[in-house]
Chain A
Amino acid sequence: MISTFDNFIKGFLAVLVGLVGYYFVATILSSAAEEKQPPVPREQPINLDFGPTTKRADKVYLHKATFEYECVECHAWQERDPSPREFIGEHSKMNLEHGSLKTCFTCHHETEYDQLVDPRDGSPLAYNKHVSLCVRCHGPVYKDWKYGAHGRRGGYWDKSQGEQTRTECIICHDPHQPAFKPIAPLPRPGVARGAVHAPSDEPHTRVGKLLKHKPIPKTVRGPAIVEWEIEDTYDE
C-alpha cells in the first residue's frame, strides 16, 4: 500500500517538475528566438508632390519687395538698346542655358515686353500660347506631348469618366534653363533580413567607362523645380 502511494507521489512530483521545467525551458527558448524589431519611423515626411498640374501660364510678373511689377512698368520709360547684352538690373540673377540660344529676342518680343514673339512674322504672342512658340524648334517633342508620350498628365486616363490634366511646357521647364536640376532621391528600399551586396561602382560597359569620368555639368537632367511663380490672373 505504502509503496504504491509512494510511487504515486513520486510520479506526481515528477510530472509536476517536468511540466514546470518544460514550460520554463520553452519560454526561455521562444524569447531567445528572433526579437521583433519595432518599425523604425522615417525621420522626415516624404515629399511626394502629387500636383500641381493645372496651372497655365498667362502672364509673368517680377516680384520685388512685396510688390508685383509688370515688365512694361519699367521698360515704358527705359531706353531700348538693341545690341546683345548682359543681364543687368532685375535680370542679373538669371542664367541663360537654353541650348545655343544667346539672345533674349528669340522668344521675347522686342517692344511688347509682356508678350512673347511669334517667329514666323514677328508679331506678339501671349504667354498662354507659349506652346506654339516652343514647337517652332521642338517639333518632335511637341508631337509626343500632344499624344501623351511626353510630359506630366494627371487625373483620368479615361476622359469620359473625368477630367484629364496635362502640363504645358513652361510649367515643368524653366525657359531660361530648361534642363532639370538633379534632386535627392528618396531613401533606398533596404532588405528585411540578410546582407545586401551591391555591385561594384566600377563601370562594366564601354559606354559606362566613357561616361564615368565625364564632368558633371551644372544642370544635368533631373526633375522640374519651378522657382518662380506664374499667376494666371492679375487682380486690379
Chain B
Amino acid sequence: MSDSNDLIQIGRRSFLKNASVAVAGVSGTVAALSPLKEVVGDFDVESWLQQHYHELSEDEMKDVLARLEAEAKETYGTDIKVRDVKPKEDTKFAYALNLGVCVGCRKCAYACEKENNVSRSPGMQYIRVLEMEKGGVNLETANHQYEPETVPKPDKYYMPVQCHQCDKPSCVKACPVNATWKEPDGIVVVDYNWCIGCRYCEAACPYWARRFNFEKPQLPKEEINPNTSYLSNRPRPVGVMEKCTFCLHRTREGKYPACLEVCPTGARVFGNLLDPKSEIRYVLQHKRVFVLKEEVGTVPNFFYFFEAQS
C-alpha cells in the first residue's frame, strides 16, 4: 500500500517540507489572532479567576469591590464607589404603573439610563415605553419608536415595560451557570463577573427585559453615576447581560428608584409588599390591576392599572 510507503520515505527532504508547512501553519495562526493584541491588556487574571457572588467571603468581596473601583478609574478616569448593598429584612419589592396617567415622555427611560450607568448604545435602555392603541392591550400593534411632536396622542396610551422581577423567572431557570438569581427581597440580579454571555436568559424572558453588551459600553465620562453597587449599576464589561434591578442601590436603602423620582405625572408606585400600609399595597387592594402575559406563569411583580381621567 502506498500510504505506508509514503511514511517509510520520511527523510530529510520531506521533513523539511513538513516542518516548513507546520511553521507556516503556526505562524498563520498567530497572524490570524493578531486582533487580540488590542484587548490582551484588558485581561486580568484575578478578574478571570473570581468566584461567583455567593461564594465570596467578606474579605474577598472587599478586594473585589476595590478592584472594580480601580478598573473603573482606569477605564473612565473617574472615582466611583462600589458597595455590596445587602437586602433589607422583611422586604419584598413591587411596582405599579398607572396607565391612565403615563404620557409617554420617556423621562423614566433616560433617568434610568443615567442612574444605572447604562451604555448609550441604541436600544439599551432598560425601560421601553410602548405606544399602545386604546381599546385593547395588543403588543403586536405597539409602537416602540414613536416620536410625535407632543405626547400623549389622543388615540394612544403609553405603557412602560421593564424587568418585572418575576416570582417564577424564566431567565433564572434558563441560565446554565447561575449567573442570575432572585434575591430575598424579590429583585432578580445578575453577577456581571460570572455571566458567560450565552444570552439564553434574553431568549427566555417573555417581557424582553434583559439587555446584552454587544460592545464595550458607551458610557460618557461626565455622565457616570459614581454611587454604584456590585449587583446593580456598577460599570459593566463587554459581553455580559444586564437589566433593571429596581435601583437596588437606592431602594435597599429606602429611596425611590430613579424612574419613579423623575416621572412628571406620578404614574409610578413603588414599595414593600410586606408592609400593609405601603402605597403599593393600597394600589393592589383598591385598584383593578393586571399583569402582562399572565398566562406565561412567571408571576411578575410589576402591576398595571388604569386610573384614567380623560
Distance, CA A50 to CA B266, complexed state (A):
12
Chain A 188-217 residues near chain B, CB threshold 8 A: 188-192, 196, 198-199, 201, 203-208, 211-212, 214, 216-217
With most chain A CB atoms within 10 A of its CB, the pick from B114, B152, B263, B286 is B152
Distance, CA A48 to CA B108, complexed state (A):
8
Known: A149-B287, A186-B107. A19 touches B135 (CB 8 A): no
Chain A 142-193 residues near chain B, CB threshold 8 A: 144, 147-158, 160-162, 167, 172, 179-180, 182-192
Q: Which of A22-30, A102-110, A129-137 contacts B (4 or more CB under 8 A)?
A: A22-30
Are A191 and B265 in contact, CB atoms less than 8 angstroms apart? no
Known: A11-B20, A23-B34, A26-B34. A162 touches B255 (CB 8 A): yes
Give which listed residue, A149, A183, A184, contacts B283 with CB less than 8 A: A149
Are B256 and A157 in contact, CB atoms less than 8 angstroms apart? yes
A18 interface residue per 8 A CB criterion: yes
Interface size on A, as a range, is 35 or more
Task: Classify the interface of chain A: helix, strand, loop or mixed.
Answer: loop
Are A189 and B265 in contact, CB atoms less than 8 angstroms apart? no
B145 interface residue per 8 A CB criterion: yes
Are A39 and B120 in contact, CB atoms less than 8 angstroms apart? yes
Give which listed residue, A162, A192, A196, contacts B145 with CB less than 8 A: A196
Are A157 and B28 in contact, CB atoms less than 8 angstroms apart? no
Are B282 and A184 in contact, CB atoms less than 8 angstroms apart? no
Known: A19-B24, A183-B103, A223-B264. A157 touches B272 (CB 8 A): yes
Distance, CA A157 to CA B123, complexed state (A):
30
**What are 25 residue pairs bridging A and B, where the CB atoms are less than 8 Å apart in the complex?**
A11-B17, A11-B20, A14-B20, A26-B32, A36-B215, A39-B218, A48-B110, A48-B111, A149-B282, A150-B266, A157-B278, A162-B255, A183-B151, A183-B264, A184-B149, A186-B107, A186-B109, A187-B106, A188-B145, A189-B128, A198-B144, A201-B143, A203-B135, A211-B134, A211-B154
